[in-house]
């Protein structure tokens, strides 16, 4: 059986630059996988304490307090999704790329042994932390595969990498190559989003986006009959070729 054929069983690893990113962009995939019994883990490289917590700063909160709030919110969202969560507290704005941080991600790869990896696209002119997280994730994935890399655990296989949809997809060279039907878990995604009051403006934005991607999913799944539907979807790009015995 190929790696891709096994991939639907999990574990699923989602690497997120900031504490909220995985919720807006991959919560549907995470909830779906968890509902099918897969182990799902969000790895947050930072809390988004400086760059994605504007409201808390305006309220006069201090750095440590903001990190604690964001940690608590993201952990609550992960629980709603049925996922585990880990924080590396590597700092944001900027999220600095380093061999040490890549090594910590390698250790997570070796520990979780993901069948699927989900992370940010490699381009985002609005937020350099996001592509930095993606680059480190990809680097760590390759290192974790090397038999000679000095980290606990077995060498990693070749888990496919999916890139989740960024906030402004056209500017990030994002094309929705994969449309994932998340209708059955959308209420769960919405509840997870509502665990993040610091970014309340995102709740409706990502609900509308799911509806729009749902329309596109239906259009790509068959002829456009103009029938009403309530399909909700998330979009992804694939980084590596799909490996399969059957074209589908």
Looking at the Cβ atoms of 50 and 213, the one nearer to Zn ion is 50
Span interacting with Zn ion, options 16-24, 95-103, 152-160, 223-231, rule CB under 5 A? 16-24
Place of tokens 């779906």: 32
Query: Contact at 8 Å (CB) between 47 and 89?
Result: yes
Q: What is the smallest separation between the CB atom of 118 and Zn ion, expressed in angstroms?
A: 14
Q: What is the smallest separation between the CB atom of 222 and Zn ion, expressed in angstroms?
A: 35
Q: Is 21 in the site for Zn ion (CB under 5 A)?
A: yes
The number of residues that bind Zn ion (CB under 5 A) is 3
C-beta neighbour count of 228 within 10 angstroms: 4
Task: Point out the residue whose Cβ comes nearest to Zn ion.
Answer: 18
Span interacting with Zn ion, options 10-18, 81-89, 155-163, 183-191, rule CB under 5 A? 10-18
Nearest Cα neighbor of 140 from 124, 159, 164, 125 is: 159
Pairing mode of beta strands 116-119, 161-164: parallel
Q: What is the smallest separation between the CB atom of 231 and Zn ion, expressed in angstroms?
A: 27
Tokens found for residue 68: 């604690």
Work out the burial of residue 23: count CB atoms within 10 Å of its CB; fewer than 13 is exposed, 13-18 middle, 19 or more buried: buried
Q: What is the smallest separation between the CB atom of 42 and Zn ion, expressed in angstroms?
A: 13
**Helix, strand, or coil (residue 119):** strand
Q: What is the smallest separation between the CB atom of 53 and Zn ion, expressed in angstroms?
A: 11
Span interacting with Zn ion, options 19-27, 108-116, 169-177, 232-240, rule CB under 5 A? 19-27
Q: What is the smallest separation between the CB atom of 147 and Zn ion, expressed in angstroms?
A: 34
Looking at the Cβ atoms of 21 and 73, the one nearer to Zn ion is 21
Tokens found for residue 165: 């949809």
End-to-end Cα spacing for the chain: 16
Query: Contact at 8 Å (CB) between 53 and 198?
Result: yes
Q: Site for Zn ion (CB under 5 A): which residue of 18, 39, 50, 189?
A: 18
Looking at the Cβ atoms of 7 and 198, the one nearer to Zn ion is 198
Chain contacts with Zn ion (rule: CB under 5 A): 17-18, 21
């Amino acid at each position: 059986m190929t790696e891709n054929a096994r991939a639907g069983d999990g574990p699923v690893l989602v690497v997120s630059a900031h504490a909220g990113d995985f919720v807006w962009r991959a919560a549907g995939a995470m909830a779906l996988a968890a509902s099918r019994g897969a182990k799902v883990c969000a790895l947050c490289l930072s809390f988004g304490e400086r760059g994605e917590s504007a409201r808390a700063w305006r309220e006069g909160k201090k750095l440590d307090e903001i990190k604690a709030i964001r940690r608590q919110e993201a952990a609550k969202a992960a629980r709603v999704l049925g996922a585990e969560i880990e924080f590396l507290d590597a700092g944001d704005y900027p999220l600095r790329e380093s061999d040490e941080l890549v090594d910590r991600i390698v250790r997570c790869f070796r520990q979780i042994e993901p069948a699927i990896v989900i992370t940010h696209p490699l381009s985002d002119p609005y937020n350099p932390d996001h592509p930095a997280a993606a680059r480190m994730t990809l680097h760590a994935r390759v290192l974790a595969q090397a038999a000679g890399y000095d980290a606990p655990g077995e060498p990693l296989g070749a888990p496919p990498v999916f890139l989740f949809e960024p906030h402004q997809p056209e500017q990030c060279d994002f094309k929705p190559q994969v449309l994932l039907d998340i209708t059955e878990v959308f209420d769960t995604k919405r509840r997870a989003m509502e665990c993040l009051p610091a970014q309340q403006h995102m709740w409706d934005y990502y609900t509308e986006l799911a509806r729009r991607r749902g329309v596109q999913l239906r259009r790509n799944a068959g002829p456009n009959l103009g029938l009403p539907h309530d399909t909700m979807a998330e979009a992804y790009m694939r980084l590596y070729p799909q490996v399969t015995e059957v074209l589908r």
